[in-house]
A and B are shown apart, each in its own frame.
Chain A
Amino acid sequence: MRIIIVGCGKIGTTIIDSLVKEGHDVVAIDDNNDVVTEVSNIYDIMCVCGNGADSEILSEAGVDKAEMFVAVAGSDELNMLSCFIAKKMGAKKTVARIRNPEYNGSSLEFLRSQLSISSAINPEKLCAQELYNILRLPGAAKIETFSNRKFEMIELKLKTDSKLDGLSLIEMRKKYQGQYLVSAVKREDKVFIPDGNFVLRGGDKVGIMATATEAQKLFKMLGILQKQARSVIILGGSKTAFYLAKRLLAGGHDVKIIEKNRQRCEEISNALPGAVVICGDGAQQELLLEEGLSRSDAFVALTGMDEENILISIFASSQNVPKVISKVSRIELLSMAENLGLECTVSPRLIISDVISTYARALKNSMGSNVETLYKLMDGAAEALEFKVQSDFKYIGIPLRDMDLKKNTLIAGIIRGKKIIIPSGSDTIEAGDRVVVLAAGQRLHDLSDIIR
């Protein structure tokens, strides 16, 4: 599938990376020649140097044959304009990054329909959404919802003194009964799809499939903090902070925002009357303590500097703040932050590239394969795919335990009408079901791909 990316900045290259890995034909456009050379050295793609809204450049990039056109250059206006031109020139689907809050209000729908942009993405808003999900269930490191929030995949980092340390999955199931499924485990840098004999260890990152209510029950049994974070301190007054604070305030949380720049503070205070806005340098520990860091339920570091976010988050963890989240933009730093003991990080770039590659996958599916939706899990090392079961599927009515599944794949959930089944060996797949399949280290295109 031919995909054109305009803008090879931080987000652009992350998107290129994931799309190239998916095997797409990628053409990148950027007006900086050095950037273009560098990108063409690293990735197996074609590069065009020039303005992404110039029709000549677009035709050189082969826009008329492009299935998807993604504009993620620095300026919203350029992105919208290039999407508009690309669409006129024959690109099938267009995606624009539109991050300016003014365009993201009620005018967004109008802009989208007038410029025939298929999808608008706003990294800050998506990031805020993810942060909000985490704060909703602070015991988890990450929550992914499936099938219109009917059930969730919860990523949980096990502490060394966790009750699950040393337990095999069979033992865990006996001890803590309920409708849930341990579906993926990340240990060091490897991701496993575990079977019943798999023994959990402290330090593992565990992915659990369950409905929202069952997940709450399990968390209670495990004794993991489970009440929602009532009071949240947000460091940095970025756009993400603004969107997050808005969501939190709407949900009735107490929000305190610490920002250095006075003018920005006033803007935020003006836009969000419910929030407490503090003007000061968040890197000063004294200030954080004075603002009640140690009494707050959660601390979110959202400054523009990754290093500052990581260091201040470490300090916050040392003050026993129950939930500390830091934003880390540079992907290289993510694993380092994890090694330093920060269990919960978000990276806007990863979020965006997941969204785009999911979109690309869905587009490809409309042209052949059967995947309904796709989620990247465990930092992109595993995938969850939702399939609709066709009536010609060969294994209809056969109990799961009699199916010979490929290694590192798992049927993690079956949705039958309104009923949600967390499957065990005796369950069967019926025509018309929707099935969520987990796979690590392989790309599935059809439900029958999981059978050996």
Chain B
Amino acid sequence: MNYKKVFSTLGMMLVALSALLVLPIIVAIVYRETALWGFVTVAGCSLCVGGLMTVFFRTDNQVIYAKEGFAITALSWLVLSAVGALPFYITGEIPSYIDALFETVSGFTTTGASIVTEVMAMSRSCLFWRSFTHWVGGMGVLVFVMAIIPNLSDRSIHLMRAEMPGPIVGKLVPKAKDTAKILYIIYIVMTAVEVIFLLAGGMSLFDSLVHSFGTAGTGGFGIKADSIGGYSPYIQWVITIFMFLFGINFNLYYLILIKKFKSVFKSSELWCYVAIVATSTAAITANIFKMCNGFGEALRLAAFQVSSIITTTGYTTTDFNLWPTLSKAILLILMFIGGCAGSTAGGLKVSRVIILGKAMGKEIRQMLRPRSVNTVKFEGKQIEDSTLRNCTTYFSLYMLCFVVLFLLLCAIENYDFETNFMAVSACFNNVGPGFGAVGPTSNFDGYSDVSTLALTFAMLLGRLEIFPLIITLSPSTWTKR
């Protein structure tokens, strides 16, 4: 283990965090809020500590292997969450540190689950920071660090692989740094376009920014008690479309940029994603038609909720807790499927679901004719056995983590089955709101500290796709043998 490189990268990340904190500081100055000093203190401390760490652990040994990649990623996210939670705690807007941590992790992992009961009472700068964590966490903190820091490492592909969601992580251009830059440029431009559309719909600048951050990161922190419900249908449609767009693999946007439209249309993951969204929307529209005032509203509500849940954003325009069971079941399944690989969405990812389905078919064919040779094809390419194994292992681990967390919650909480089940799936899949007592109109305030920590961990597991955290927490990673 290259300890020095691991810790110096952590240091760089803290410096980057302090740079990111400048934005809420500006907001606090603009609105003349006292929360300013909380942000300034945290930014200053993280700059000093991070700077010292980079200097102290400076090393010429730039070589990192997969192990270091996982460790750097997992530790970065832990440290980032721990430090990012401090402003809420110091300003006293969230009195309990554990709650503040939950809120911050919920932000960075783009979950959008909240323990804040009175959102409207929070200061603007804190609300801004809360939503901004979505934006940063969506594309990835290390990808951000990679894009701005020169010569991180020749082997930074390991970092990218550990942080970017999806079964196969490729580069867009030969250099990892350039890839990170391109991804962030696409991300920034798309966010800016959304802000413009929202402004055009009569939303204030602050609200547009906050909601665009939430959409771009597929996070879902609202700043109103009824999330997006109070805004005009135009704004709801804009957010629906952008949620859908941010759930698509960013590589496809790059392909559009370099005018390779053919490859975009050939992407089976994209078509699958579009098909899932379209059918789910149609089914739910039909299912809730009677409850709404006309087709237009039914379609709008269904499309919004479907986009919001499949991309694991978690904005709501209505209390879908009151919807018929079929609609709720569809939403639950969408929660687990999640968006495309290489997007900012959570969940299992469409591509992984496709690969798992195909692998299943392959195994069944193999049982039928033991001597037959079968391969799995995806996006026109044969999927290697190692990738298949990785997918199935991931799925098993995913279920295992889910079961353990669910049991834990059931053991220590008084909530009913539905609430606990939905709390775990909403956090683990980085969605945010669930059904029952954690539905769109309520929040996670009622859970005890232990459960809050468990759910915090669940969100991190879900965002980093389990492996980095498990590997970093296992002692054999850190021993010399």
A residues lining the B interface (CB < 8 Å):
2, 20, 25-27, 33, 40-46
Contact = CB atoms under 8 A, between A and B. Distances in A.
Nearest to A27: B174
Contacts, number: 33
Contacts of A41: 65-66, 155, 157-158
B395 to A, nearest CB: 22
Interface in B38-96: 65-66
A28 to B, nearest CB: 9
A33 B156 CA distance: 20
A44 B156 contact: yes
Contacts of B33: none
Given A33-B384, A41-B66, A2 B158 contact: no
B173 A40 contact: no
Contact of A46 (B65, B158, B173, B384): B173
Given A20-B154, A33-B384, A44 B66 contact: no
A110 to B, nearest CB: 34
Interface residues of B, number: 17
B175 A25 contact: yes
A44 B156 CA distance: 7
Chain B CB within 10 A, most for which of A2, A40, A46 = A46
Contacts of B157: 40-41, 44
A2 B66 contact: no
Chief secondary structure at chain A's binding surface: mixed
Interface string B130-168: 000000000000000000000000111110000000000
Contacts of A42: 154-155
Contacts of A2: 174
Contact of A44 (B65, B154, B170, B172): B154
B377 interface: no
Chief secondary structure at chain B's binding surface: loop
Nearest to A61: B174
A26 B384 contact: no
Nearest to A2: B174
A40 B158 CA distance: 10
A13 to B, nearest CB: 13
B224 interface: no
Contacts of B155: 41-42, 44
Nearest to A42: B155
Contacts of B170: 46
Interface of B: 65-66, 154-158, 170-178, 384
Contact of B176 (A26, A33, A44): A44
B174 A44 contact: yes
B56 to A, nearest CB: 26
Contacts of B176: 44
A43 B158 CA distance: 11
Chain A CB within 10 A, most for which of B170, B172, B174, B176 = B174
A14 to B, nearest CB: 15
A33 B386 CA distance: 11
Nearest to B152: A44
A43 to B, nearest CB: 6
B175 A44 contact: yes
Contacts of A33: 384
Nearest to A4: B174
A46 B66 contact: no
B154 A46 contact: no
Contacts of A44: 154-157, 174-177
Contacts of B174: 2, 25-27, 44-46
Nearest to B154: A44
A40 B170 CA distance: 10
A43 B173 contact: no
Given A25-B174, A44-B156, A44-B176, 13 more contacts: A25-B173, A25-B175, A25-B178, A26-B174, A40-B157, A41-B155, A42-B154, A44-B154, A44-B174, A44-B177, A45-B175, A46-B171, A46-B173
Contacts of B175: 25, 44-45
Contacts of B154: 20, 42-44
The 5 A-B residue pairs whose C-beta atoms are closest, nearest first, are: A25-B174, A46-B174, A44-B154, A46-B171, A45-B174
B170 to A, nearest CB: 8
Contacts of A43: 154
A12 to B, nearest CB: 15
A170 B1 CA distance: 48
A59 to B, nearest CB: 9
Chain B CB within 10 A, most for which of A25, A41, A44 = A44
A40 B176 CA distance: 11
A93 to B, nearest CB: 18
B192 to A, nearest CB: 27
B151 to A, nearest CB: 10
Contacts of A25: 173-175, 178
A300 to B, nearest CB: 36
Contacts of A46: 170-174
A346 B174 CA distance: 31
A44 B66 CA distance: 14
Contacts of B158: 41
Nearest to B380: A56
A180 B456 CA distance: 72
B23 to A, nearest CB: 30
A2 B175 CA distance: 11
A434 to B, nearest CB: 34
A200 B147 CA distance: 46
Nearest to B381: A49
A310 B207 CA distance: 72
Nearest to B170: A46
A42 B171 CA distance: 14
B71 to A, nearest CB: 16
A184 to B, nearest CB: 23
Nearest to A17: B154
Nearest to A50: B381
A41 to B, nearest CB: 7
A21 to B, nearest CB: 9
Contacts of B172: 46
Nearest to B156: A44
A26 B177 CA distance: 13
B117 to A, nearest CB: 48
A46 B172 CA distance: 8
28 contacts: A2-B174, A20-B154, A25-B173, A25-B174, A25-B175, A25-B178, A27-B174, A33-B384, A40-B157, A41-B65, A41-B66, A41-B155, A41-B157, A41-B158, A42-B154, A42-B155, A43-B154, A44-B154, A44-B155, A44-B174, A44-B175, A45-B174, A45-B175, A46-B170, A46-B171, A46-B172, A46-B173, A46-B174
